Structure 1
Amino acid sequence: MRNSTEELHDGPRRRVGALAALDGRLPGTHDLLLMQCPGSLRPPAGGELPDWARTVLRAHPWVTVGRAPSPVGAPVDVPRPRRCTRGWPAAPEHWIPVTVRGPRPGQRLDALAPWAAVARTLRPEQLVGRQELLAPGRVAGLPALALLPEVGRLVADHRLAWGPIGAVGYELGTGVPVVGPLSPLRLVLRTPHPVSRRDALHLRRALSKLPVPVQAELETRYGAVQLAEYAAGPLTVTLLTPYGPREVHDPWFPRGPYA
């Protein structure tokens, strides 16, 4: 595994600032964000981050964008962020919902990150093929990492943009060893246009034959639906949106109440 931070993350860190870090676009769910000043993160209800979260962010200042609304302005329940120490103030006008990954399995913390405190962003699609940045022995010994090329071939048959998320995506993006022998392989499949139930069923069956649990979600313009649920062909499916789950007949043309 390469030890150089610049090599692992494709060059030196960019100058902090929303436009530089995000290439002029807002971050999407499952994106990985490298925080230039992680001390600017705050819990959604205000206050300070717990000690374990501050310790994690000092060592590995990476967070994952969550599926929640992005507060705009300066709501009373969101404190103004501290100024970054590297010359850029953390912008109070835009907050990104993120999740901090803890040192223990399943330990997570929801937080809000100021937009201008983001130094780098990685989309799931950018993580495909990054196994070469990890130690070869580690990739070969972990099914969720070793089977990524095979997953790519199966998804390519359906001409969908895709990328790993969850523990696999986090390790590929950050280099932090979080994948275990029993870790599932979670995927996001970009589906801006409708996918037929038949195609979804064929893909689900192909992925289910792999010797590792695969959890894939179809990301539409309105939210995400689990591939397995959609392929099963129920009358309604659960569409995960920034404002909560929603029971809909068609995730590409959603009509239905929020849960």
Structure 2
Amino acid sequence: MQACAAPPFAAGRALDGGLGYDPRWRPHDLLRLRRLQRFDGEPAWVRDAFERAPYAVVRRALAAGGFVAIGLRGTARSQRYGTWARSADIGTVVAPETLAEYQPDSERGTLAAFAALAALQRDMTGALAGFIWGPTGSTGFELATQVPTVTASSDLDLLIRAPAKLSHDTAVQILNQLQAHARRAGIRVDAQLETPAGGVALAEWAAGKARVMARHAKGPQLIADPWALAHGDA
């Protein structure tokens, strides 16, 4: 996030164990909000953006009970703001995997990010077959809100659910498939694995590095095995 509000709760009230957030909504979920409370020092564009599309994305940050950490986006790439919403103000939740089945408006479908997504949707026997996945970033935002957000230069961001350990060979297969689609579309396809330790870049895991960066509500950390705690390893 380019800027972030001060938490609307005492630091000691933030969840300090487990996920660090309410499991009813997960990072990258899009939330349609009934209202957005005001924060001192929030950027001038925030209210216009919220009126244009009353949606926010769940971000990785600790939150107290009754709150969820969210990110708001404006019309410019630099317009990103991290803040918090009250759980009671959440209307509907749209997960990335739900958006994997959505289609853009017909006149928008020729944009490269949507063309790459359509190719993945058609590739039923490709490396992503059997995985739960979906678009995030500007592509996911436009599909959820129907507000034009994707541009000709937009990348396609993806989230892949990976609750069980992913072999490096499988990661390489998925990465190669995504890069092939990216080359045909003329853009980048950036995929993140959602693991028990947090978000891990598919490209990092496929590279076979000794440690990879896992992004968690408590903050990023370098870790050898993002699945170790899930199966009881030290």
TM-score normalised by L of structure 1: 0.74
Match of 2:199 among 214, 224, 229: 224
Asked if residue 68 in structure 1 is aligned to residue 48 in structure 2, the reply is no
1:3-59 deviations in whole A, cap 9, x for unaligned?
Answer: xxxxxxxxxxxxxxxxxxxxx952100011111112x254xxxx2533310121122
CA contact (8 A) 2:127 2:173 kept: no
**Alpha-carbon distance between aligned partners in 2 of 1:71 and 1:208, rounded to the nearest angstrom:** 39
1:146-176 CA-partner distances (Å, limit 9, x unpaired): 221322323443x110010000000000111
Find the partner of 1:162 among 133, 136, 144.
133
Q: Tell me the amino acid that sits aligned with residue 245 of structure 1.
A: P
2:95 aligned with 1:123:
yes
Rounded to whole Å, the distance in 1 between the matches of 2:58 and 2:138 is 14
Indicate the percent of aligned positions where both proteins have the same amino acid: 32
Tell me, yes or no, if structure 1 residue 206 matches structure 2 residue 174: no
- Within a 5 Å distance, the mapping from 1:86-101 to structure 2 comes to 94-101=66-73
Q: Which runs of 5+ in 2 are unaligned?
A: 1-21
User: CA offsets, 1:66-91, max 9 Å, x none?
Assistant: 0111223xxxxxxxxxxxxxxxxxxx
Which structure has the larger Rg over C-alpha atoms? 1
For the pair 1:197 / 2:197, whether they are aligned, the reply is no
Which amino acid is 2:226 matched to? P
Query: What is the number of residues matched between the two proteins?
Result: 202
C-alpha deviation, 1:105, in angstroms = 1.8
Deviation for aligned residue 1:106: 2.9
Greater Cα shift, 243-252 or 53-62: 53-62
The residue aligned with 1:80 is: none
Tell me the CA shift for residue 222 of structure 1: 2.2
Q: Which residue type is aligned with residue 107 of structure 1?
A: Q
Match of 2:79 in 1: 107
Is the contact between residue 31 and residue 58 of structure 2 (CA under 8 Å) also seen in structure 1? yes
Give the superposed CA RMSD. 1.8
Q: 1:247 aligns with which of 216, 222, 226?
A: 222
Distance 1:115 1:41, change over 3 A: farther
